[in-house]
Amino acid sequence: MSRDESKLLYAESHEWVDLAEENGKTVGTIGLSGFALEQLNDLVYMELPELGRELTAGEEFGEVESVKAVSPLYSPVSGKVIAVHDDLPESLEKLNDDPYDFGWILKVEVSQANSVDALLDHAAYQKQCAEAG
Amino acid sequence: MMNTRTGAGILGDPRIGRLISISTAGSATNMAVDQAILNAVSQSGIPVLRFYQWVEPTLSLGYFQGLASRSDHCQSDQIRCVRRTTGGGAIVHDRELTYSISMPVPAGQAGPRSALYQQTHAAIASALACFGVHAVPFRLTGTGARSESDNSHFLCFQRRTPEDLIVSGYKVLGSAQRKSRTAVLQHGSLLMHASEYAPQLPGVSDLLSVPITADDLIPGIVANLSECLGVDWQAGHLSEQEKLDAEQISCERFSQSGWTARR
């Protein structure tokens, strides 16, 4: 089933998170928005975090390179990394076509429910993107 | 990827920048100073322009390049090596001029700052034109010009991206970036002469009948960057805090063999 981007939450730094309940825990699946991928323009490298790493909302969890520019990726939520999309760094050419399903980067077991309070809903994120041009 | 600027500092006027005059240092110090400046600009919002050279021939690896790929270029495989925090391919810093420019980034924008590549390279092309050098971006070199950023070449100067400056078919200027939440560091290398450690790459003076030096070019580059970026570059120096930060960053990162060999 395709992920509905209008139901996701977004960080100002362009990462999306899809929150779901799994076995009584909140799991956030995280990726990069289509808007960000358009601006990044042809990713050539991506570095993923290690499994088990504890992240705080806003903390760097990885890096990408495009057009000789290295940009950090920031976690939109706090929690422990429970899965990473290992195939993604070798398949970055597919990312722009499918940022919300194939393009998931990592899954985090959310440790602080209120860490999502500062995130944007789809409408607010769209507004930010429009203002950024 | 970026958030609005955070931190306790009061933002300065982004139209007035600091110009750090040319200096020569070792590889770890050069990279650490650029990182310390990026950290400072992330807080202050005040642009910084710096020119520098290297105390010994040095190979700088792009952030994601593997150290083992040095064996792809035997002429440079015995000189000192440092890993940059910026992307792109490896550069032999020998008979060249390195610049770095750190600028605040508007909120809500992601990805490389393509305009900064264009503006800085246009400023350097204009400075070169005053000495009779016709340098053009790779994207304007005619039909069939295509990007070769597929990382198949080890050396930056054997790759081609749209804003690279080309003289007589040879790439003479390449740049790369590292973003923070609220600022971007761009540094780049202008080849002045071919190095014995990369003899296949001529510099601008090799392509001219009258040699020019880095000192000849810098005033024009600064003036052009002032005009195209709308920044008044005022002579400055590293702050005591930046010097301390650079020393720490050099010790903890760029001097460490683990950093250089991390990939």
Residue B3: pLDDT over 50: no
- Asked if the model's pLDDT at residue B9 lies above 50, the reply is no
pLDDT band (50, 70, 90) for residue A1: low
List, for residues B65-85, the tens digit of each pLDDT value.
Answer: 999 999 999 999 999 999 999
Which residues in chain A have Cβ-Cβ distances shorter than 8 Å to B149? Answer: 42, 44, 67-68
- Per-residue pLDDT at B123: 98
Active-site residue B130, yes or no? no
* Residue B62: how many other CB atoms lie within 10 Å: 26
Classify residue B140 as exposed, middle or buried by CB count within 10 Å of its CB (0-12, 13-18, 19+). exposed
Report whether pLDDT(B35) > 50: yes
pLDDT at B143 > cutoff 80: no
Query: For the residues B101-115, what does the mean pLDDT come to?
Result: 82
Chain B positions in Cβ-Cβ contact with residue A36 (cut-off 8 Å): 1, 110-111
Q: Give mean pLDDT, residues B104-123.
A: 86
A residues 25-54 closer than 8 Å to B (CB): 32, 35-36, 39-42, 44-45, 47
Q: What is the pTM of this model?
A: 0.93
CB B158 within 8 A of CB B191: no
Whether pLDDT at A119 is above 60: yes
B76 φ, ψ (degrees, to nearest 5): -110, 10
Q: Which of B135, B1, B215 is nearest to A30 (CA)?
A: B1
| C-beta separation of B200 from B73 below 8 A | no
Percent of the residues in chain B that have a pLDDT greater than 70, as a whole number: 91
Confidence of residue B6 (pLDDT cuts 50, 70, 90): very low
pLDDT at B150: 55
User: Nearest-CA distance from A67 to chain B in Å?
Assistant: 7
Cα angle A31, A36, A40 (rounded to 5 degrees) comes to 115
Of A58-62, B7-11, B16-20, B182-186, the one with minimum mean pLDDT is: B7-11
Residue B86, φ and ψ in degrees, nearest 5:
-95, 165
Domain ranges of chain A: 5-132
pLDDT given for residue B113 in this prediction: 86
Q: What is the mean pLDDT of residues B158-165?
A: 94
3-state secondary structure of A124: helix
* CA of A13 vs chain B CAs: smallest distance (Å): 4
Domain ranges of chain B: 16-260
Nearest Cα to B215, choosing from B94, B51, B49? B51
**Alpha-carbon distance B246 to B30, whole Å?**
9
Architecture of domain A5-132: Beta Barrel (2.40)
Q: What value does the mean pLDDT take over residues A25-52?
A: 94
When pLDDT is cut at 50, 70 and 90, the band that residue B146 belongs to is low
Q: Please give the pLDDT value at position B8.
A: 38
- Contacts of residue B136, defined as CB under 8 A and 6 or more positions apart, other chains included, come to B125, B165, B166
HSE-CB of B220 using CA atoms within 13 angstroms: 17
Specify the CATH number of the domain B16-260: 3.30.930.10
* Bridge partner list, A70: A65, B178
Q: A70 in helix, strand or coil?
A: strand
A67 and B111 within 8 Å at the Cβ level: the answer is: yes
